[in-house]
Amino acid sequence: MHTTEPQIISKRNQTFFGNLLPDRFINKSSNSVSNPFVRYRREKQFRLMLEHLNPEFKDLILCVGVGSGREIDLLNNYVEKVYGVDISERFMNHCADRFGDRFEGCLCDLETEKTIYSKGFFDKVVCINVLPYFTLTGINNFFREMSRVIRRNGQLFIFVLNAEFPFSGLLQEQLLKNRLNDSRAIYFYRPLSDYVNTFSKYGFKMSKVQGGDFFCDINSHFFNYLFNLRWSGPLIRLMEFGGETALKRYYRSLNLTLIKQ
């Protein structure tokens, strides 16, 4: 029986990511993506991560969800060592082998657990492509733990999917239809207020918010025409401009920088 009950979805996602092989992502980079809209979204995530956090050599930075190490690889250009947590022992071992003593990892499920780190240990934290897979209970646990391990005036950079995007409901319906019958992970579009109400409880305030993209890959004649590759240049320029205006409220994805008070 297939269900969207939060605990079942959480268990399903844990199993999926726990069994995922790093080899699947080793050659996966922005440059290897043929779709220019997807390439733009990925490049923008990392660009904003560096612009908003402005990492310095002395910073202690935590990467939540290390994956194959894309964020770690970038951040290691600025700091002595990057710390990381992940649900997958395979990804932790992969990053340990790849980065050696410039990486220190901790196996942890941040939906339900605490990390091993002490109070106020980190200056900055990065969390990209993780929170959309969490239940609301998991999001609450995440921000509670981040509030504990980030120092006062420290920064937290997160990526979320936005339910106020006009076509988020159709995208969610398409995703569930395509994935509930197999083992792939399920992610959710949520109102920004879900995140704001939660992180505000734990002493964070939003310092920056920027729209990610409004690419819509619904399989229909209208969207296939609208996001035809021939229009990619003008649409991406529009995404870049609108992401810094009030239009970002309706973007498919949002990049938030939070300050620990």
Per-residue pLDDT of 171-219, as tens digits, reads 999 999 999 888 899 999 999 999 999 999 999 999 999 999 999 999 8
Read off the pLDDT of residues 124-133 as tens digits, 9 standing for 90 and up: 999 999 999 9
pLDDT over threshold 50, residue 99: yes
Read off the pLDDT of residues 78-93 as tens digits, 9 standing for 90 and up: 999 999 999 999 999 9
> Per-residue pLDDT averaged across 43-71, rounded?
97
Task: Classify residue 76: in a domain, yes or no.
Answer: yes
Task: Classify residue 235: in a domain, yes or no.
Answer: yes
pLDDT over threshold 60, residue 27: no
* 43: CATH: 3.40.50.150
Which position has the token pair 């590759």? 229
pLDDT of residue 31: 58
Tokens of 206: 């939003």
Task: Classify residue 191: in a domain, yes or no.
Answer: yes
User: Rounded distance, CA 13 to CA 18, Å?
Assistant: 8
Task: Classify residue 1: in a domain, yes or no.
Answer: no
Give which of 159, 137, 157 is closest to 204, Cα–Cα: 157
- Indicate the number of domains in the chain: 1
Lowest-confidence pick of 17-21, 29-33, 183-187, 211-215: 29-33
Task: Classify residue 45: in a domain, yes or no.
Answer: yes
Task: Classify residue 26: in a domain, yes or no.
Answer: yes
Task: Classify residue 41: in a domain, yes or no.
Answer: yes
Name the average pLDDT for the chain. Answer: 93
Residues 6+ apart with CB under 8 A from 73: 99
Q: Which band of pLDDT confidence, cut at 50, 70 and 90, is reported for residue 43?
A: very high
pLDDT over threshold 50, residue 1: no
Write the DSSP assignment of 182-245 as a string of letters.
SS------B-HHHHHHHHHHTTEEEEEEEE-------SSHHHHHHT-GGGHHHHHHHHHHHTTS
Task: Classify residue 14: in a domain, yes or no.
Answer: yes
- Most confidently modeled of 12-26, 150-164, 170-184? 150-164
Domain range enclosing 256: 6-260
How far does CA 81 lie from the centroid of its chain? Answer: 21
pLDDT of residue 53: 97
pLDDT of residue 78: 98
pLDDT over threshold 70, residue 29: no
User: Rounded distance, CA 122 to CA 125, Å?
Assistant: 7
Lowest-confidence pick of 20-24, 105-109, 118-122: 20-24
Q: What's the pTM? A: 0.94
